[in-house]
Structure 1
Amino acid sequence: MTDIILLQSPPPKLVDVQKSVFCPEALEFVSKLHKTFDYQIEKLYKDRLSKNAAIQTQNSVDFKITAERSDRTWKIGALPSRLQNRHLDLGDVSPSNAAHFVEALNSDVQGIQVDFDDGHCPTWRNQLLAYHNINLLVNGKLPGAPPSISTCPVLMLRPRAWNMIDHDILIEGKEAIGPLVDFGILMYHIGKKLYEANSGPYFYLSKLEGSSEAVLWNEIFIWSQNELDLPYGTIKACVLIENILSTFELEEILFALKDHSLGLNCGIWDYCASIISKFGDRKEFLLPDRNKYVNMDRHFLNSYMRLVVSTCHARGAPATGDSLSCIFSRSKVIINKVLEAKLKEIEIGADGFMVYDVRLVPYVNELWKKNGTSNQISRKLDVDITALDLLTIPQGGVTLEGIKHNIAVTIQFIYHWLAGIGHFFYNGNVEDSATAEISRAQIWQWIRFSPLLEDDPNQKVTPNLIETTASSFSAHARKYLCRSSAERKRLNAAKYMSLEIFYSRNPPEFITSYLNDNHKFRTLHNKELLSNL
């Protein structure tokens, strides 16, 4: 093919995998997909820039009166039989890690977030392995996995978000769009097989910034169904409401995907990071220590979740809650605290949520058994959520412990990304791009406004304090993270890259874009491939 070029050679032992994944027919499908929607995607990027510029001159953002919002009669299309009752998904399951993927597939959950986004690092090797493992599963050939996709949890495929460019593929002389590559490769290889097994294709859609982006996805779904001879409405998708702007367009997002909708999902840390990204240069949006003052009990987040639930249920759609990042602990106190937090989401009306650690699955399943065995869509919430409810930041201070934690998460996330790993474990939690986003955003904001420390009123947040803390953490982390000079260099690079975004006058919108586009990541990634040849 002359209009699509793969810029990477296959890693050792993956030559046949690359030929199979990127066979001529799959490349043709991906190329055609890009050509069909290239203009609209370019417009999406320009519209995002325009929105960001407009926000800088507006005093507030508010709900709009639209036809979709005014008409109370419409509902989303019927839910597929396997998704009528989806209480529990396993989240952040990168299919590039076959062992973790297989463990998830054998778990007692309804769905698996098969992740190319928050918990996945899109190196060329990881992409090939991820596509390949999914193909093996769907064809009944993945070792250790259930023999049929109709008997394992439903695959909830999450392609990369719109901010991610695929630098390894050129289409008509332009770098490919990450989510279109993921979606196109998956749909071409497994879309029809999932449909025939009554198991999909189903998707999570990340980081949408409004209903116009949902409209685009809906058009992509319709085009793909026509190309692959799938019935209209076969593809279903759950939109993750991870951006503050999307919260003001929930009705319109559901309507845009009406016949392809699986409802909406709440994602607390990306959502909070987006508030800082959009409004964080104003002091009234100074977010306090997230570990101490930011949780679903706070009015702005409780309002956000209740609005998502009430909007979904009014339209016959499921609403799923936040992902539980806690790692299993034998402490009954910790387990009970985790379950107490999830019970509050059930009581609000959530129809399900995600966990990462499979060891927590029996506890969460028991919680659901005690509190209802079906979805709660019939439960309607009478809410009157205003823009002020969503945008009033909780009171609270900045702590030295909060600074240390946010710096540690940011540095370690970058360190692992440079190693081709999309998530890691720290202090009893799984950390991914969502927690990295809020961590680096808070440090940036605290430097900008230099608040006094809550635990030391004589000390302000200063660039010097941040740098000293980052250096101290790096020296400590070197002892347990680094076993070679290459790993020590990587940790040092992660520290300085973290400081770069902490100090930035105009920080990047997404930490994954910053890393994906960074010469350091791409150089290390290419060196890894070359060293294995």
Structure 2
Amino acid sequence: MHDRIRITATAQGQDRVLTEHALEFLLQLHDAFECTRQQLLQERRTRRAAFADGDSPRFLASTARIRDDASWRVAPPAPGLEDRRVEITGPIERKMTINALNSGAKVWLADCEDASSPLWRNVIASQVNLQDAIRGQIEFTSPAGKEYRVTATHTPTIVVRPRGWHLDEHRILVDGTPMSGSLVDFGLHVFHNAEELISRGTGPYFYLPKIENHREARLWNEVFVMAQQLLVLPQGTIRATVLIETITAAFEMEEILFELREHSAGLNAGRWDYLFSIIKAFRLRGEAFVLPDRSQLTMTAPFMRAYTEQLVRACHRRGAHAIGGMAAFVPSASDPEATERALAAVASDKSREAGDGFDGSWVAHPGLVSTCREAFDAVLGERPNQLDRSREDVPVDGAALIDLSTTRGEITDAGLRSNIEIGIRYLEAWLRGHGAVAIHSLMEDAATAEISRSQVWQWIYAESTTEDGRTITRARCEDIVEELARSVECPEGNRFREAIALFREIALEETYPAFLTLAGTERYLAEGVERTSTGSIAVQSAPSAPNAQPHASDEEREAA
């Protein structure tokens, strides 16, 4: 073991993953890129402070030459990524890995990020399961004795989503400093599996989350170049699809493609995190930027249409895939009528995406694969994609991306209660190690929980009213929290007590944390803090005044 590295936790399979050579590889990446990562994170804080003071994102004058130059293109699709009409997403749990490989999707997004709780055992198990899945060695037997095996003749191309740049891996310390969670997830996968993937006809492919600008994409490109040099892989072997899920990235889509060109596999419309980003960026702007109930925020809202259509235009202009957003519905055999209605809505959503020019789209459940595939089959036919379909008819319109004034809908008491319930229930499952959770027939992950808690925070700050004329205050939200606490069942091993405390911190307190995953990891999942609580829920209001109004965080007010 390298004397500069200290591992502060243990988990089954760790020796297989954290080998001496793998750790040396991670250390080389850390030494080369940690300083730049920290600089970029400081720039994020500066940008958030500017938004808090009234600034707005815009197209960059400094990169106009990139947007204006019509000659450049990204690399052609890599092996296994030519046809992406259906992509299934999910955590890299052993059973869910097998289900994804058997799903019939073209691509499996193996998720180390929003659909995965970063417990140490999950970080290690994800890498173990990836190794086994890639080598055709993965099996699973449930506690009830049910056996799961890969039976599909053709399995999806595997694309791994590492954690975002903002997340540390605090259980791997270098000279006492945590490694980047991004580099740990990326580095372990590419180190252990790149050659095996290439030998099987694909390659090491990634989805890059939470990118805020082209300089963050440039850092990833530099990581790819160095990793390929260290592992003696041809440049361009690694490919990455960037999730456009922040409002600032939406203004730099072509620049992001440019930075990654030989490593680019396209862009994805990360709809849920994108909504979260908009709420976060403009949460201090008052009623003009307050959105209605989460359930009413569909992709037909004008600002969301502008975002998705401009994404397709940017991608196809540069020869890159445009991948649509998540269908989060979970089919239920116990409610066939509701399932039928939901499948019809999914079919309509996917048909709209295919008609708009997207080359594929996401689903969260195997039961949605055929619905998505049929929608894209109807448009694509035998073609693998529609890269040849230009969307030059779409205007490049920055104002449309941030014009929320035409969004229709209302804030309801039911919507407020739903946000609070989903936020707390998701956090409770997340603290127990589950990053993707079915709640009321929808697959919730960190992104959807971020929307829920951020809307509650913004509605309190803006003194918004529900459809019945009542103002949303902290006291009103506390009453709903207490009602939920009294009604929820508390099975052994629950973490509702901590989930409620965490929800108060991220949704009801004056200071707004940038990410629930940051707050939750630092408070509950750090070294020595991973634990299980039992017993009833103790509801105790936080000490601040019942109607205290939130404000911008300290980091948003300080000068860079």
Structure 1 unaligned blocks of 5 or more? 529-533
1:337 Cα deviation after fit = 1.8
Secondary structure of 1:81 counterpart? coil
Partner of residue 511, structure 2: 506
Count how many residue pairs are aligned between Structure 1 and Structure 2: 511
1:171 Cα deviation after fit = 1.0
Query: Could you give the per-residue CA deviations for residues 196-241 of structure 1, whole angstroms, max 9, x where no partner exists?
Result: 2221110000000100000000000000001101001000000001
Contact between 1:120 and 1:421, CA under 8 Å: does it hold in 2? Answer: yes
State the alpha-carbon separation in 2 of the partners of residues 108 and 519 from structure 1: 37
1:465 Cα deviation after fit = 1.1
Partner of residue 196, structure 1: 199
1:154 Cα deviation after fit = 0.5
State the alpha-carbon separation in 1 of the partners of residues 151 and 378 from structure 2: 32
1:139 Cα deviation after fit = 2.5
Contact between 1:141 and 1:147, CA under 8 Å: does it hold in 2? Answer: no
TM-score between both structures, scaled by the size of structure 2? 0.88
State the alpha-carbon separation in 2 of the partners of residues 306 and 317 from structure 1: 14
Counterpart selection for 1:419 from 403, 416, 432? 432
Residue 298 (structure 2) pairs with residue 285 (structure 1): no
State the alpha-carbon separation in 2 of the partners of residues 500 and 526 from structure 1: 19
Residue 98 (structure 2) pairs with residue 94 (structure 1): no
Contact between 1:320 and 1:352, CA under 8 Å: does it hold in 2? Answer: yes
1:366 Cα deviation after fit = 2.2
TM-score between both structures, scaled by the size of structure 1? 0.93
Partner of residue 388, structure 1: 399
Query: Could you give the per-residue CA deviations for residues 44-90 of structure 1, whole angstroms, max 9, x where no partner exists?
Result: 11111122222233443221242211101111011113211110111
Query: Could you give the per-residue CA deviations for residues 480-517 of structure 1, whole angstroms, max 9, x where no partner exists?
Result: xx222x52xx2122122212222233311111111111
Partner of residue 26, structure 1: 22
1:520 Cα deviation after fit = 6.6
Relative contact order: is structure 1 or structure 2 higher (C-alpha 8 Å, sep ≥ 6)? 2
Query: Could you give the per-residue CA deviations for residues 112-135 of structure 1, whole angstroms, max 9, x where no partner exists?
Result: 010000100111111121111111
Secondary structure of 1:195 counterpart? helix
Secondary structure of 1:525 counterpart? coil
Contact between 2:212 and 2:246, CA under 8 Å: does it hold in 1? Answer: yes
Partner of residue 556, structure 2: none
Task: Pick which of 504-513 and 106-115 moved more.
Answer: 504-513
Partner of residue 5, structure 1: 6
Residue 302 (structure 2) pairs with residue 299 (structure 1): yes
State the alpha-carbon separation in 1 of the partners of residues 72 and 168 from structure 2: 36
Contact between 1:233 and 1:260, CA under 8 Å: does it hold in 2? Answer: yes
State the alpha-carbon separation in 2 of the partners of residues 268 and 116 from structure 1: 18
Partner of residue 466, structure 2: 453
Residue 217 (structure 2) pairs with residue 214 (structure 1): yes
Secondary structure of 1:453 counterpart? coil
Task: Pick which of 69-78 and 326-335 moved more.
Answer: 326-335
Secondary structure of 1:90 counterpart? strand
Counterpart selection for 1:115 from 106, 111, 114? 111
Residue 191 (structure 2) pairs with residue 178 (structure 1): no
The within-5 A match list for 1:19-168 is 19-65=15-61, 66-91=64-89, 93-95=90-92, 97-143=93-139, 145-146=149-150, 151-168=154-171
Residue 238 (structure 2) pairs with residue 235 (structure 1): yes
Query: Could you give the per-residue CA deviations for residues 353-392 of structure 1, whole angstroms, max 9, x where no partner exists?
Result: 1101101212222222222233111111111132221111
Letter in 2 for 1:338: V
Residue 476 (structure 2) pairs with residue 465 (structure 1): yes
State the alpha-carbon separation in 1 of the partners of residues 118 and 7 from structure 2: 15
Partner of residue 552, structure 2: none
Residue 455 (structure 2) pairs with residue 442 (structure 1): yes
Partner of residue 346, structure 1: 354
State the alpha-carbon separation in 2 of the partners of residues 385 and 474 from structure 1: 48
Contact between 1:516 and 1:522, CA under 8 Å: does it hold in 2? Answer: no
RMSD: 1.7
1:19 Cα deviation after fit = 1.1
State the alpha-carbon separation in 1 of the partners of residues 475 and 511 from structure 2: 19
- Cα distance change, pair 24–372 in 1 and its aligned pair in 2 (3 A): same
1:26 Cα deviation after fit = 0.5
Counterpart selection for 1:377 from 378, 382, 387? 387
Letter in 2 for 1:392: D
Task: Pick which of 139-148 and 331-340 moved more.
Answer: 139-148
Contact between 1:273 and 1:437, CA under 8 Å: does it hold in 2? Answer: yes
- Cα distance change, pair 217–268 in 1 and its aligned pair in 2 (3 A): same
State the alpha-carbon separation in 2 of the partners of residues 367 and 61 from structure 1: 34
State the alpha-carbon separation in 2 of the partners of residues 526 and 425 from structure 1: 23
State the alpha-carbon separation in 1 of the partners of residues 168 and 532 from structure 2: 20
Query: Could you give the per-residue CA deviations for residues 310-338 of structure 1, whole angstroms, max 9, x where no partner exists?
Result: 10000011101111100124333321122
Identity of aligned pairs, percent? 33
Partner of residue 255, structure 1: 258
The within-5 A match list for 1:505-524 is 505-519=510-524, 523-524=528-529
1:477 Cα deviation after fit = 2.3
Task: Pick which of 401-410 and 390-399 moved more.
Answer: 390-399
Letter in 1 for 2:473: T
State the alpha-carbon separation in 2 of the partners of residues 289 and 9 from structure 1: 42
Contact between 2:105 and 2:156, CA under 8 Å: does it hold in 1? Answer: yes
Contact between 1:397 and 1:453, CA under 8 Å: does it hold in 2? Answer: yes
Counterpart selection for 1:430 from 443, 459, 462? 443
Residue 507 (structure 2) pairs with residue 494 (structure 1): no
Contact between 1:418 and 1:524, CA under 8 Å: does it hold in 2? Answer: no
Partner of residue 401, structure 1: 414
State the alpha-carbon separation in 2 of the partners of residues 363 and 247 from structure 1: 28
- Cα distance change, pair 317–280 in 1 and its aligned pair in 2 (3 A): same
Letter in 1 for 2:434: I
Partner of residue 311, structure 1: 314
Letter in 1 for 2:418: H
State the alpha-carbon separation in 1 of the partners of residues 105 and 87 from structure 2: 6
State the alpha-carbon separation in 2 of the partners of residues 501 and 59 from structure 1: 24
1:176 Cα deviation after fit = 1.1
Task: Pick which of 263-272 and 207-216 moved more.
Answer: 263-272
Secondary structure of 1:167 counterpart? strand
